[in-house]
C-alpha cells in the first residue's frame, strides 16, 4: 500500500504522504545500522531515488566508463535556513554539485548523497528534503546511485547537513580550463546576480521587502550543453557561488594570468535585489548565487552565445559584461556606472551590513 | 531604479566635473566628513574627475574607526561572560581589541550576535528574560536616535535584563578639533548628509564663521558629492565661508526634531575619547542620570581599561585628514583587512579599507 503512495509524481505539485508515520522525528537509531535505518532506506530513500544502479542494493555503484573523460567533484551543504524562497538544502545540494560538473564541460551522470541528520529532526522535514533532492536530480538529468546516512546527537548538528559528490562525462574535444582564457575573450554572465544571497539573508535576518526575492538556485547544465552543442568556442566557465562575481573573476584572472575589464552597467541585477543591497550596504557583485556562471568565449562567438543562453529559462537574462584585455598584472578592473575605472577586488571574509 | 540610478548618471557626472574644472583657479583642500562619502569617492573614482589642484582628505566619520580601544576591550570582557548575549552591528565584531576581537569571543563560546538595529537587541532581551542582553551602541548622530528609542522603550517596559555599552560621538566637535589643530590643512568641508538629516545644520554656522571655512551638507551618491564639491569650491573661489545644503531632498535646516528630542531625553553630552585622536571635550553622548540603569559599564562594573595603540599605525593622522592611507608604512603589507592593525582597515566605512579595496594596485 505505502509503496504506491510515494510513487505519486512530485512534479505534479502533489505532496507525497510521509512514508514513515510511526516515527515523527529522526532518532539516533535511524543512523545506527539496524532495523530503523533499514526502514528509512527502504521506505524513504530507495523509492524516491530509484534507478537500476541504486536498486541493486550493493555497497557501491558499479557502472561502465563511457567514452570521453570523467569529471568528479564534491561539495558539502550546511545552509540555514534549510528552506528558503526558491529552494532548500536538498535542491541546493544537487544543483551545486551538478553545476560544478557543468563548469568542467561535463554532462552530469551520477550523484552520491551523504546525509548527516541531527537527532530530533522532524521526519516530515527530511521527507520534504528527500523529495526536493529527487526533483532536482530529475531536472538536472542525474541519477543518485549511492548514499550514506548518519545521525548525530541532538545539539551536535544543525538539523541536516548534506554532502554530494558527482561524476560527469566530458565529451571528446571539450577543453574548459582557466589557462584557455586569452586576451580578446568576451566575458558573459548567465543571468541576474545576487538573488540567492539576498533571499537567504532576508529569511535569516527577518528582513521584509515588498516583494519576495527568490533564490536563483537552479541547474545550469542545459545552458552549458547548449553552448557546447552549438559549437561556441567556450574557453572557460566558472559558477558564481560564495564571493559572487568579484571572487570568481579574480580567481580566474589570477589562474589565467590575465587582465579583465568589467562594465558595471552591463551586469544584470534586479531592481529589488539592488534596492536590498543599497539598504544593507552590500555590493551585488560580492553576493552569492547558486544558478549563475561566467563564460569566457571567443569574441566572435559572443553575440551568438548570448542568443543561445537567452533560449534557456535559467539564462534568459544572460549578458556580455566585459572583456579579457592585453597587458600587465592579473587584475579585474571595473568600469563604474559614472564611467571611472577601479579595481574590483576579491572580498576578505564576509560582507557585513553597514552601520549607518 | 528610482532615486538611485539618477544620481549615478555618467553624462551628468561629466558635466559636473567640467563645471568644477571651470571654476577652479587655485589649489584647495576639502575634507568629506563621513566614511560613507569616502567610500563613494574611492569606489566611483570621483577624485579622478577633479582638477589636480583639488585635494580630498578623508574625515573621521567612521563610527568603527573612532571607537576607542579601551571600549572594544570592555565589550570583549562583557561579551565573554556566560550570562550575556552581546549584540552588535556587524562591523564592530572584527575590530581588533588589545588581544582579540568579538568574532574570537564568539568562536570561544561567547553568545555574540550581529543585529541590524538596537531594537532587534531589545527583542532578543524580551525573548530571553533569564539572560543579560547588551547592545554595543556606536555611531554618530545618525544612529543615536535608534539607540535612544531602544533605551526609551526598555524603560517604558520596565526591562531589567537590557543594557547598552555606549560610544556615540558627535560631528561638530570633531570638526572643531580638526580646524583648531596646528596640523590642519582643510579649507572646506562636505558635512555628512545623514547626520544633518537628524540634527539639521544650525550647529555648523558658528564653525564656518569662526574658522572661515565653507561647509556644504552633502549626500552620498556620486552626483551629490560632485555637486557638494562644486558648491564648496565656488565658495572658496569667491572667498565665502557659509553653510550650504546640497542634500535638500533629505535634509532640512531644523533636522528631525522628534529624533533630537529623543536623544536629549536619554542622553547628555559628555567628553569622549576618539580612537587615534584622543579626548575631545563635549564630543560624545552618555546616559542621562535617569537612564543610568541601562549603562552596561555601570551594570557590569567594568574597571577603567587603558590600552596602548600600535605605535606604527597612523590611523589618528588618517582620521584627521593629515595623511592618506597609502602613506602609512603598514598599508597593504603588515595591515590588511584580513590582519588589520588599525580600525580604519576594518570598517566598510574606513578610509584604509576603501583604499585597500579599490586602489591597491
Residues B164 and B291 in one domain: yes
- Same-domain pairing of A278 and A308: yes
Mean pLDDT, to the nearest integer, of B277-302?
Answer: 94
CA distance B338 to chain A (A): 6
Q: How confident is the model at residue A348 (pLDDT cuts 50, 70, 90)?
A: confident
Q: Please state, in angstroms and rounded to a whole number, the distance separating the CA atoms of residues B189 and B59.
A: 9
Please name the helix (run of DSSP H) or strand (run of DSSP E) that holds residue A293, with its range, or none. Answer: strand A293-297
Same domain for A90 and A224?
no
CB within 8 Å of A197: residues ≥ 6 apart: A244, A287, A288, A289
In a domain, A123, yes or no: yes
B277, three cell numbers = 585622536
Cβ within 8 Å, pair A349-B337: yes
Question: How many domains does chain A divide into?
Answer: 2
Phi/psi at B251 (nearest 5 deg)? -105, 130
Between B163 and B350, the higher pLDDT residue? B163
Summarize the confidence of residues A321-348 as an average pLDDT: 90
Nearest CA in chain B to A264: B44
How far, in Å, CA of B4 to CA of B12, rounded?
Answer: 13
H or E segment to which residue B32 belongs? strand B28-34
Determine, for residues A348 and B338 on separate chains, whether the beta-carbon distance falls below 8 Å: yes
Residue B212 is predicted with a pLDDT of: 97
Q: Which of B5, B13, B348 has the CB atom closest to A339's CB atom? A: B13
The predicted pLDDT at position B2 comes to 66
> Mean per-residue pLDDT for B33-54?
94
Q: DSSP 3-state assignment of A250?
A: helix
Asked if A345 lies within 8 A of B1 by C-beta distance, the reply is no
List the 30-69 stretch of B: residues with Cβ below 8 A of A. 36, 42-46, 48-49, 63-64
Which pLDDT value is given to residue A67?
80
Q: Chain B: give the shortest CA distance to residue A338, in Å.
A: 4
Residues A185 and A112 in one domain: no
On average, the pLDDT of chain A sits at: 91
Tell me the shortest Cα–Cα distance from A152 to chain B, in angstroms: 20
Measured distance CA(B155)–CA(B261) in Å, rounded: 16
Domain CATH for B175 = 3.40.50.11740
Together in a domain, B343 and B275: no
Cα-based torsion angle of the residue sequence B14, B20, B24, B27 in order, rounded to the nearest 10 degrees: -90
pLDDT at A8 over 50: no
Do B253 and B337 belong together in one domain? no
Task: Kindly list the distances between the CA atom of residue A353 and the CA atoms of A337, A347, B44, B134, B233, in Å, as whole numbers in the listed order.
Answer: 22, 14, 19, 19, 33
Domain boundary among A144, A170, A196: A170
Residue A210, chain B, CB below 8 Å: the answer is no
Pick from B59, B138, B40: nearest CA to B325: B59
CB atoms within 10 A of CB A64: 4
User: What are the pLDDT digits (tens) for A156-215?
Assistant: 999 999 999 999 999 988 999 999 999 999 999 999 999 999 999 888 877 777 778 999
Residue A38 lies in a domain: yes
- The confidence score (pLDDT) of residue B46 equals 95
CA distance A39 to A45: 9
Q: Answer with the residue of higher pLDDT: B18 or B90.
A: B18
B279 neighbors B316 (Cβ within 8 angstroms): no
pLDDT at A3 over 80: no
Nearest-CA neighbor of A81 among A202, A226, A256?
A: A202
Q: Is the peptide bond before B184 cis (omega within 30 degrees of 0)?
A: no
DSSP H or E segment with residue B82: none
Which of B16, B42, B87, B89 has the highest number of chain A CBs within 10 A, making it the mutation to test binding with A? B89
| 3-class state of residue B30 by DSSP | strand
Would you say residue A2 has pLDDT above 60?
Answer: no
Is A149 among the domain residues?
yes
B284/B319 same-domain check: no
**Does residue A326 have a pLDDT over 50?**
yes
Spatial contact of B88 and B346, defined as CB atoms under 8 Å apart: no
CA–CA dist A49, A39 (Å, integer): 15
Asked which of A151, A170, A189 is the last residue of a domain, the reply is A170
pLDDT > 70: percent of chain B: 99
Check if A338 contacts B (Cβ < 8 Å). yes
Give the pLDDT of residue B141. 96
A148 and A218 inside one domain: no
Q: Which three cell numbers stand for residue B325?
A: 592611507
Domain that holds residue B38: 1-314
pLDDT at position A354 over 60: yes
Cα distance between residue A284 and residue A268, in whole Å: 10
In this structure, is residue A156 part of a structural domain? yes
Q: Nearest Cα to B88, choosing from B99, B102, B100?
A: B102
B119 and B152 both lie in a single domain: yes
**Residue B57: pLDDT above 70?**
yes
Interface size A-B, in CB pairs within 8 Å, comes to: 92
Question: Measuring CA to CA, which residue among A232, A225, A205, A201 is closest to residue A215?
Answer: A201
Q: Do A337 and B48 touch (CB under 8 A)?
A: no
Element (H, E) at B110: none
Q: Are strands B215-218 and B243-245 parallel, antiparallel or unpaired?
A: parallel
Could you give the 3-state DSSP secondary structure of residue B139?
strand
CA distance B287 to chain A (A): 21
The beta-carbon neighbor of B361 closest among A205, A329, A355 is A329
Residues A101 and A187 in one domain: no
B4 reaches A (C-beta below 8 A): yes
pLDDT band at A13 (very low <50, low <70, confident <90, very high): very low
Q: CA A194 → CA A242, A274, B182, distances in Å?
A: 10, 8, 48
C-alpha cell at A48: 524516491
Q: What grid cell was written down for B202?
A: 544650525
Q: What is the DSSP string of B211-263?
A: HT--EEEE-SSHHHHHHHHHHHHHHHHHT---EEES-TTT--TT--HHHHHHH
Class of residue B25 by CB neighbours under 10 A (exposed 0-12, middle 13-18, buried 19+): exposed
Same domain, A159 and A52: yes
Q: Is A350 inside a domain boundary?
A: no
User: Is any Cβ of chain A less than 8 angstroms from the Cβ of B338?
Assistant: yes
The boundaries of the domain holding residue A321 are 178-343
Q: Which residues of B240-274 are buried (b: 16+ CB within 10 A; e: fewer)?
A: ebebbbbbeeebeeebbeebbebbeebbeeeebbb
Checking if the pLDDT of A139 tops 80, the result is yes
Does the structure show a pLDDT above 80 at A355? no
**What's the pLDDT score for residue B277?**
83
Per residue in B192-232, pLDDT tens? 999 999 999 999 999 999 999 999 999 999 999 999 999 99
Sequence-distant (6+) residues with CB within 8 A of A101 are A71, A73, A107, A108, A166, A167, A168, A221
- Region label for B79, one of left (φ > 0), alpha (ψ between -120 and 50) or beta (otherwise): alpha
Which pLDDT value is given to residue B3? 67
Asked if residue B298 and residue B320 are part of one domain, the reply reads no
Residues B222 and B330 reside in one and the same domain: no
CA A232 to chain centre: 23
Average pLDDT rounded to a whole number, residues B315-322: 86
CATH number at residue A127: 3.30.1330.10
Q: Is A328 a residue whose pLDDT tops 90?
A: no
| Chain A residues touching residue B361 (CB < 8 angstroms) | 329, 331, 343
Residues A194 and A110 in one domain: no
Please give the Cα distance from B319 to B342 (Å, whole number).
Answer: 11
Q: pLDDT band for position A353 (50/70/90)?
A: low
Q: Is it the case that residue A15 has pLDDT exceeding 70? A: no
Chain segment A34-85, per-residue pLDDT in tens: 999 999 999 999 999 999 999 988 889 999 887 889 999 999 999 999 999 9
Q: How far apart are the C-alpha atoms of B179 and B322, rounded to whole Å?
A: 11
pLDDT tens, residue by residue, B209-220: 999 999 999 999
CATH number at residue A299: 3.90.650.10
State the distance between the two ends of chain B, measured CA to CA, in whole angstroms.
32
Across chain B, which distance is largest between two alpha carbons, in Å? 66
Neighbours of B200 (CB within 10 A): 19
pLDDT digits (tens, 9 = 90+) for A210-258: 778 999 999 999 999 999 999 999 999 999 998 999 999 999 999 999 9
Q: Tell me the chain A residues in contact with residue B91 when contact means C-beta distances shorter than 8 Å.
A: 352, 354-355
**B8 with A337: Cβ contact below 8 A:** yes
Residue B125 to residue A122: CA distance in whole angstroms? 29
Cell of B304: 577603567
The count of domains in chain B is 2
What's the rounded Cα separation, in Å, for the pair A247 and A225? 24
CB-CB neighbors (< 8 A) of B338 in chain A: 348-349
Q: Which residue has the higher pLDDT, B309 or B239?
A: B239
- For residues B236-240, give the mean pLDDT: 98
Q: Are residues B174 and B321 in the same domain?
A: no
Would you say residue A325 has pLDDT above 70? yes
Give the model's confidence band at B343: pLDDT under 50 very low, under 70 low, under 90 confident, else very high.
confident
User: Per the domain annotation, does A356 fall within a domain?
Assistant: no
DSSP string computed for A141-156: T-EEEEEEEEEE-TTS
Q: Per DSSP, what are the bridge partners of residue A107? A: A169
Check whether residue A202 and residue A255 sit in a common domain: yes
List strand residue ranges (DSSP E) for A41-159, in order: 69-77, 83-84, 87-88, 107-118, 143-152
Residue A100 has pLDDT above 80, yes or no: yes
Give the pLDDT of residue A349.
Answer: 67
CA dist A144 → A46, A78, A223, B75 (Å): 10, 20, 22, 50
* Pair A221, A159 in one domain: no
On the question of pLDDT at B151 being above 60, the answer is yes
Q: Is B129 helix (H, G, I), strand (E, B) or coil?
A: coil
Instruction: Give ipTM to 2 decimals.
Output: 0.79
> Are residues B243 and B325 located together in one domain of the fold?
no
The minimum CA-CA distance between A353 and chain B, rounded to whole Å, is 6
Q: Which of A154, A170, A186 is the last residue of a domain?
A: A170
Q: Same structural domain for residues A216 and A323?
A: yes
Together in a domain, B197 and B345 = no
A266 lies in the same domain as A333: yes
Tell which residue, B149, B153, B152, B117, has the closest CA to residue B135: B117
Domain identity same for B320 and B239: no
Task: Decide if A336 and B142 are in contact by the 8 Å CB cutoff.
Answer: no
Q: Does A38 touch chain B (CB under 8 A)?
A: no
pLDDT value at residue B361? 58
Asked, for residue A355, whether it belongs to a domain, the answer is: no
Please tell me whether residues B238 and B334 are part of one structural domain: no
A349, closest residue in chain B (CA to CA): B338
Whether residues A355 and B143 touch (CB distance < 8 A) is answered with: yes
Query: Rounded to 5 degrees, what angle do the CA atoms B288, B292, B294 make?
Result: 120
- If you average pLDDT over residues B105-130, what whole number do you get? 95
Q: Kindly state whether residues A166 and A187 are assigned to the same domain.
A: no
Domain for residue A354, yes or no? no
Amino acid at each position: 500500500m505505502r509503496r504506491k503512495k510515494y510513487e505519486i509524481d512530485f512534479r505534479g505539485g502533489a505532496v507525497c504522504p510521509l512514508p514513515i508515520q510511526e516515527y515523527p522525528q529522526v532518532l539516533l537509531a535511524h543512523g545506527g545500522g539496524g532495523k530503523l535505518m533499514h526502514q528509512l532506506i527502504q521506505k524513504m530513500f530507495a523509492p524516491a531515488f530509484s534507478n537500476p544502479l541504486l536498486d541493486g542494493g550493493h555497497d557501491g555503484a558499479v557502472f561502465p566508463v563511457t567514452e570521453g573523460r570523467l569529471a568528479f567533484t564534491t561539495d558539502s551543504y550546511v545552509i540555514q535556513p534549510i528552506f528558503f524562497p526558491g529552494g532548500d538544502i536538498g535542491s541546493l545540494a544537487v544543483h551545486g554539485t551538478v553545476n560544478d560538473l557543468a563548469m568542467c564541460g561535463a554532462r552530469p551522470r551520477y550523484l552520491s548523497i551523504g546525509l548527516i541528520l541531527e537527532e530530533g529532526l522532524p521526519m516530515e522535514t527530511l521527507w520534504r528534503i528527500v523529495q526536493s533532492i529527487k526533483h532536482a536530480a530529475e531536472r538536472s538529468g542525474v541519477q543518485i546511485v549511492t548514499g550514506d546516512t548518519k545521525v548525530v546527537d541532538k545539539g551536535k548538528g544543525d538539523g541536516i547537513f548534506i554532502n554530494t559528490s558527482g561524476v560527469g562525462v566530458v565529451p571528446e574535444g571539450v577543453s574548459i580550463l582557466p589557462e584557455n582564457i586569452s586576451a580578446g575573450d568576451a566575458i558573459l554572465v548567465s543571468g541576474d546576480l545576487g538573488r540567492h544571497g539576498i533571499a537567504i539573508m532576508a529569511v535569516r535576518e527577518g528582513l521584509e521587502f515588498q516583494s519576495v526575492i527568490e533564490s536563483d538556485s537552479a541547474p545550469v547544465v542545459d545552458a552549458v550543453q547548449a553552448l557546447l552543442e552549438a559549437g561556441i568556442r567556450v574557453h572557460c566557465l566558472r559558477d558564481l557561488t560564495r564571493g559572487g562575481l568579484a571572487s570568481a573573476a579574480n580567481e580566474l584572472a589570477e589562474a589565467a594570468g590575465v587582465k579583465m575589464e568589467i562594465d558595471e552597467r552591463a551586469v544584470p541585477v534586479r531592481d529589488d535585489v539592488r534596492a536590498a543591497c543599497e539598504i544593507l550596504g552590500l555590493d551585488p557583485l560580492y553576493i552569492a548565487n547558486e544558478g549563475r556562471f561566467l563564460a569566457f568565449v571567443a569574441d566572435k562567438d559572443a553575440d551568438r552565445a548570448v542568443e543561445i543562453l537567452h533560449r534557456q529559462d535559467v539564462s534568459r537574462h544572460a549578458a556580455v559584461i566585459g572583456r579579457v584585455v592585453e597587458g600587465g598584472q592579473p587584475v579585474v578592473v571595473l568600469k563604474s556606472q559614472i564611467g571611472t575605472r577601479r579595481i574590483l577586488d576579491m572580498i576578505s571574509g564576509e560582507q557585513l551590513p553597514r552601520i549607518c | 531604479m528610482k532615486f538611485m540610478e539618477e544620481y549615478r548618471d555618467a553624462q551628468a557626472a561629466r558635466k559636473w566635473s567640467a563645471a568644477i574644472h571651470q571654476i577652479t583657479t587655485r589649489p584647495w583642500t576639502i575634507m568629506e566628513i563621513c566614511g560613507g562619502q569616502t567610500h563613494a569617492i574611492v569606489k566611483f573614482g570621483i577624485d579622478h574627475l577633479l582638477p589636480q589642484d583639488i585635494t580630498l582628505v578623508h574625515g573621521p566619520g567612521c563610527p568603527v574607526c573612532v571607537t576607542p580601544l579601551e571600549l572594544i576591550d570592555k565589550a570583549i570582557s562583557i561579551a565573554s561572560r556566560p550570562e550575556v548575549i552581546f549584540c552588535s552591528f556587524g562591523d564592530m565584531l572584527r575590530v581588533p581589541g588589545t588581544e582579540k576581537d568579538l568574532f574570537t569571543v564568539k568562536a570561544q563560546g561567547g553568545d555574540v550576535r550581529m543585529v541590524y538595529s538596537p531594537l532587534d537587541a531589545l527583542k532578543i532581551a524580551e525573548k530571553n528574560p533569564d539572560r543579560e542582553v547588551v547592545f554595543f551602541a556606536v555611531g554618530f548622530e545618525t544612529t543615536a536616535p535608534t539607540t535612544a528609542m531602544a533605551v526609551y522603550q526598555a524603560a517604558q517596559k520596565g526591562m531589567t535584563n537590557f543594557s547598552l555599552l555606549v560610544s556615540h560621538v558627535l560631528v561638530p566637535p570633531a570638526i572643531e578639533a580638526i580646524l583648531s589643530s596646528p596640523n590642519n590643512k582643510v579649507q572646506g568641508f562636505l558635512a555628512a548628509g545623514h547626520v544633518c538629516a537628524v540634527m539639521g545644520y544650525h550647529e555648523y554656522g558658528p564653525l564656518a564663521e569662526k574658522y572661515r571655512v565653507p561647509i556644504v551638507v552633502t549626500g552620498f551618491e556620486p552626483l551629490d558629492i560632485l555637486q557638494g564639491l562644486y558648491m564648496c569650491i565656488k565658495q572658496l573661489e569667491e572667498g565665502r565661508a557659509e553653510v550650504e545644503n546640497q542634500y535638500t531632498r533629505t535634509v532640512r535646516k531644523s533636522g528631525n526634531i522628534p529624533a533630537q528630542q529623543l536623544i536629549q531625553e536619554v542622553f547628555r553630552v559628555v567628553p569622549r575619547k576618539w580612537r587615534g585622536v584622543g579626548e575631545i571635550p563635549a564630543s560624545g553622548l552618555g546616559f542621562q542620570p535617569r537612564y543610568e540603569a541601562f549603562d552596561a559599564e555601570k551594570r557590569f562594573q567594568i574597571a577603567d581599561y587603558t590600552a596602548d595603540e600600535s605605535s606604527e599605525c597612523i590611523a589618528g593622522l588618517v582620521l584627521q585628514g593629515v595623511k592618506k592611507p597609502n602613506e602609512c608604512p603598514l598599508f597593504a603589507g603588515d595591515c590588511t583587512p584580513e590582519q588589520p592593525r588599525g580600525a580604519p582597515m576594518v570598517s566598510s566605512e574606513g578610509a584604509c579599507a576603501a583604499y585597500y579595496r579599490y586602489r591597491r594596485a
